[in-house]
């Protein structure tokens, strides 16, 4: 009986320390690329191309144009 009371007391104390604050939670690491999101919202399809400086994302728009995704995104912010 004493063992049962001790286990119950430990369980109640451990529940007190389990409180979390929403402002202490870390932000998600896997946030989407805003330029890629903008491309798909415009109906485009993403294309990743390997270039001399690394990989570059391009957006193939419904009208057939292919534009570098960040260039397209910045133009929409003007």
State the pTM of this model: 0.60
What b/e readout covers 22-48, taking b as 16+ CB neighbours within 10 angstroms?
eeeeeeeeeeeeebbebbeeeebeeee
Q: Which residue has the higher pLDDT, 47 or 3?
A: 47
Residue 18 in this model has a pLDDT that exceeds 60: no
Q: Which residue has the higher pLDDT, 29 or 60?
A: 60
Convert the pLDDT of each residue in 48-67 to its tens digit: 999 999 999 999 999 999 99
């Amino acid at each position: 009986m004493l063992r049962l009371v001790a286990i119950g007391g430990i369980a109640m104390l451990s529940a007190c320390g389990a409180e979390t604050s929403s402002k202490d939670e870390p932000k998600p690491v896997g946030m989407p690329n805003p330029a890629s999101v903008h491309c798909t919202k415009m109906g485009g399809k993403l294309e990743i191309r390997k270039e001399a400086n690394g990989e570059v994302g391009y957006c193939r728009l419904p009208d057939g144009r292919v534009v570098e995704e960040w260039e397209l995104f910045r133009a929409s912010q003007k």
